Structure 1
Amino acid sequence: MTDLDPFTDLLDYPMYVVTAEAAGERAGCLVGFASQCSIEPTRFMVWLSRANRTYRVAEHAERLTVHLLRHDQDRLARLFGGETGDRTDKFADVPWHPGPGGSVILDETPAWFVGRVENRVDGGDHVGFLLAPEAAENFTDDRTPLLTLNDTQGITPGHPAD
């Protein structure tokens, strides 16, 4: 198997918090594997680790919410990336409100979109969720620095990636 690290070590892509709700359960995690994947129709793919609780809730969710974080939102990044929902209620001290279809929207994030799950794709230790955007908000301007992979290097994941 070829090691991809020489290539991926050069990347500093945005990080996202993805939230899900199904059957009255809420979950959320920090995600680095995500991208728009189609212009027409507009589609976005987000990859969730099979190891974490967010994946288990998202398996049954009709919608996911994808949030961007500002560069200075280390507290939210650590909560959603360094804690596991198996032991911590990540929503207990975080302002949020219900969005379309019962989706979970974090109030403090600068931008988010809610997407209807159109398909799930097996990608190995992660599963891709193909999202059709239904609603979006942007509370930023062009100069708002966003949280990136390099900003999160000190966060120990709540679950191992595999």
Structure 2
Amino acid sequence: MKSFKFLFALCCICLLFSCGADDDICESGEGTPRMKFSFLNSLTGNEKTLDSLYVAVDYGSGKVQLGGEAKITSRIIPLRVDDSPYTDVYFRTTNLGAESRVRVNYTTKAVYVSPGCGIKKTYENLNSVLTNPANAPVKSLKDGQNFIENEDKTNLYLLF
């Protein structure tokens, strides 16, 4: 009986010391923010809802297809997190159609968040260059907020 009480007390003490905050989870949106693209009508300048949009991104090892979405007015896309000063993003309005390439140039800054989240990148001095073939869907670009600290504000407007 004495050993049972000792074992029970030891288990209770171990349980008390093992309880603690979950430092290994980054749930509060403190990770590296993504870039927000919104869409405008090239003739009127008003917000435009696209019937479909297909996006691909070159993260340094070739294009990665991010898939398509229907009936959207904006899209949030992750940028490169290595030390590259730019990310190439490709937009199509049809699955196998012509695509527009947007090169997003920036400078990055690393910010320590917490032991669980580690370091996040913030993007500053955003500027973009549009490369279009003859029948590309994106007609021009319009700058938005020129830094990314969260995903609330539009960073770049694509005119269709």
More RCO (CA 8 Å, sep 6+) = 1
- TM-score, normalised by the number of residues in structure 1: 0.29
Q: Between Structure 1 and Structure 2, which shows a larger proportion of strand residues?
A: 2
- TM-score, normalised by the number of residues in structure 2: 0.29
Bigger Rg, which one: 2
